Structure formats: structure tokens, C-alpha cells
Amino acid sequence: MPRIAIEHIDASNMPPALPREEAETLIIFWWNDVPVGQVRDRGIVGRPISIHRYWREISSTPAFQRATKIAERRDRPRLQASLVICTRDRPDELRRCLASLPAQSHPPAEVIVVDNASRDDRTRKVAEAAGVIYVREDRPGLDIARNSGIRRATAPVVAFTDDDVHLHPRWLERLVQALEDNDAMAVTGLVLPAELETEAQQIFETYWSFGQGYEPHIFGSDFFAADRSTGSEVWKIGAGASMAFRREAFQMAGLFDERLDVGAAGCSGDSEYWHRVLSVGGTCFYEPTAVAFHYHRREIEGLASQIYHYMRGHAAALMVQYERTHNRGNLWRAFNLMPRYYARRLWHRYRYGERPHNRFINQEVKGFIAGLLYYARNGRSDAR
């Protein structure tokens, strides 16, 4: 499958045209350093892309109107932030992530690398070479590592990113600013693809993208009200690769649930925590001007495993959410909505054959069932 080119265009200094180097191009429009929208362009290689026709549509959106005000903003956040990066056996990815930190306009008060049971000392050497705080956590599990980072952090804000990410220079500034401006307990940012070189990366970005759009959203009591009937769609709040919390959130809602996410159930430690923040009366905010660039998995086999574990974690998280709140919408989603949803998709695959959107339906179904079984074995933890 041919690569999809990614082009970043600053519309405040718009070029007359854009060369088309690939049959398909993801064009991300910015206004100065504020992202405002994107399009997927297809055409004949060699013919220029008429970007102005795309810009006419994007320039009429609320995202652009907001961007012009943000670009003129000169004040800076007051709160300091600790940045936690959890990693395991990926020293090259960690090095790339750390390399994006010196350019941050709001430098973190401290950077804490939590080495989650790596098999050798390469992670420690990368952290030491970057001059950051190194914490060794020998118990495997992403949420275990996150909790170790929280315990080590000292700033009033604790931010998280992943080792397979590099950060826009104003990423942390805008996360912290969003917490202050919106009196939120948690904030997430826009996660864009760093590359779309392989089939696996393209499938992930098309059907499983971390991005939640270019307009901000506040998630509070109205959003959470659905949890009693249909389950609150907390995964729409953002991605764990780009999130921050006021320290008071951990005092109100506790730490991450160590039964969830990579190394345990497989995923959803972040969304379950946003669910918990909402359940104790806090608010979450999605701030699309805080941008992180994520390197999706390159191989189909890795993507298949990722999707299996995503659904395994999602199923387990629904049960954990019910355990904590007794909101029956989580049970309705786990035992009514999701089975019917998968039945329809399995029928369509049987009737019409494999399509890109249902290529991993078997992994999804197996993962979801495995997540319910996982919770049955590991439910009602005392370590909350």
C-alpha cells in the first residue's frame, strides 16, 4: 500500500499551491502555531494540490475563529507541571520523545521517566543522558508505572505522554492553560499522526484515530448523565498520550486502577480515570491546540494485537466503572449494546466480505469477551 503523505500548512503564510508527491495526502492546516482543521486529498501524482479551495471551508469554522484569538494571546500559565513518561524496552522511541522537550514554551518543572521493568539498562542510560529523573518500577503494568510517576511528581499539575510521541513546542503550555482557564480537573490534547507510511498506520488512523477534532469540548455533569442509562462515552475525551491533571484530582478520585491498561487488561486506564473524575463531580476538557504527534504501529501483526487489547481493556473498564459507581449504563453497554453491535458487523462481514473497516472484527470480539473474563478473575480490587 502506498504511503500517505502528511503536509502541514500555515494558512497565515499560505503557499500558492502544494506539490502532490503521493496519490493521497493528509493536509493539516494551522494558523500560525494553532491547528484548525484537516483534509484528505486524493489525486494524480505530479499535479499540484489546490489547497485554497480546502482553506475556504476550514476558514469558516469555529476552530479558525478561535485560533485567531489564541494566536494573539501573550499570557502564560501560572501553574507548574511535572511531566511523566512511562516506558519499557523502547530506548530509541524514548530518546526521540525527550528530544522534543527542550523546545517547550512552558518547560516542565521536572521530567520523570518511569522505567516499567525494562529488560536491560538502555532506558536508564537514555534518561540519564537527557538529565531527567529516572524511576525504576519493577512491577509490569502501565497504570502501575503511572502511579509511580504520580507519587514521585511534586508540581501542582501532572502531565503524561508516551514514549512513541513527539510534542509540539506549545503542548504543555496549552494543556496547563486549559486547566486554568476552564477550572478543569483533567485535560487532553489533539493527537495527530507523525507518519502514515505503512498499511497498519493508515488503517489505525482511518478507523481508530486518537484525534478528537479541532474544536474544544468540556465534559461535565451533562455529559456524564448518560452513564446511568447507556454508559458515558468517556473514550471521546481524548488519549492517554496527551493528558494532564490537577494534583487535586488524585486526592479526590485516587490513583489509576492497576487492573487496567497495558500489562494488565490491555487498555482504558486513561478513560476509566476520566470516568472517575466525572463521577466525583470534576470536569474534563479537550484542548485541540495542545498537539502531540504519535507514531502508530507500523506492522499489521502489531496492530491486530493492539486492537485485541484495546477491546479487552474497554470491556474490563466498563465493569470497573460499574463497580465504582453502580451506574447500570455500563452494564447495558457491556451486555446489550456491544453484543448487538458486533452481531451486526459480523453479519456484514459474512454477507459482503472483508473490508478495511471490519478487517480486525475477530480480534475485537475476542478481545471484548476476554476483557469480561479478565474482570471476572480480577474484579473488586482492594487497591483503589
Q: Are 269 and 167 in contact (CB under 8 A)?
A: no
**142-153 tens-digit pLDDT:** 999 999 999 999
Alpha-carbon distance of 382 to 226, in angstroms, equals 27
Cell numbers 502511579: residue: 147
pLDDT of res. 72? 83
Cell of 145: 508505572
Dihedrals phi, psi of 40, to nearest 5 degrees? -105, 115
Is the pLDDT at 384 greater than 60? The verdict is no
The DSSP line for 260-312 is SSTTTTSS-HHHHHHHHHHHTT--EEEEEEEEEEE----SHHHHHHHHHHHHH
Q: Are 263 and 171 in contact (CB under 8 A)?
A: no
Q: Are 275 and 223 in contact (CB under 8 A)?
A: no
Alpha-carbon distance of 77 to 224, in angstroms, equals 28
pLDDT band at 198 (very low <50, low <70, confident <90, very high): very high
CA-based nearest residue to 269, from 355, 162, 197: 162
**113-143 tens-digit pLDDT:** 999 999 999 999 999 999 999 999 999 999 9
Is the pLDDT at 381 greater than 80? The verdict is no
Average pLDDT, stretch 302-308?
96
Alpha-carbon distance of 240 to 317, in angstroms, equals 14
Alpha-carbon distance of 93 to 306, in angstroms, equals 18
Dihedrals phi, psi of 6, to nearest 5 degrees? -120, 125
CATH topology for 81-298 is Spore Coat Polysaccharide Biosynthesis Protein SpsA; Chain A (3.90.550)
Strand (E) positions, 11-80? 24-31, 34-42
Cell of 373: 473474563
**H helix or E strand, kind and range, residue 237:** none
CA-based nearest residue to 113, from 165, 170, 160, 174: 160
Cell of 81: 507541571
Strand (E) positions, the chain? 5-10, 24-31, 34-42, 81-87, 110-116, 133-137, 157-162, 165-167, 186-193, 217-219, 242-246, 284-294
CA-based nearest residue to 131, from 115, 103, 111, 159: 111
Alpha-carbon distance of 251 to 337, in angstroms, equals 34
Cα angle 111-213-177, degrees, rounded to a multiple of 5: 40
Alpha-carbon distance of 316 to 257, in angstroms, equals 11
pLDDT of res. 383? 42
pLDDT band at 208 (very low <50, low <70, confident <90, very high): very high
Mean pLDDT score across all residues of the chain: 95
Average pLDDT, stretch 356-367?
94
Beta bridge partners of 7: 27
CA 80 from chain centre, in angstroms, equals 22
**Alpha-carbon distances of 252 from 136, 185, 282, 321, rounded to whole Å:** 26, 10, 9, 16
**143-191 tens-digit pLDDT:** 999 999 999 999 999 999 999 999 999 999 999 999 999 999 999 999 9
Cell numbers 489564541: residue: 70
Q: Are 276 and 224 in contact (CB under 8 A)?
A: no
Among 46-55, 131-140, 239-248, the least confident range: 46-55
Is pLDDT larger for residue 127 or for residue 351? Answer: 127
Residue 48 is given by DSSP the state P
Question: Alpha-carbon Rg of the chain, whole angstroms?
Answer: 21
Alpha-carbon distance of 384 to 368, in angstroms, equals 23
Is the pLDDT at 77 greater than 50? The verdict is yes
pLDDT band at 360 (very low <50, low <70, confident <90, very high): very high
Is the pLDDT at 382 greater than 50? The verdict is no
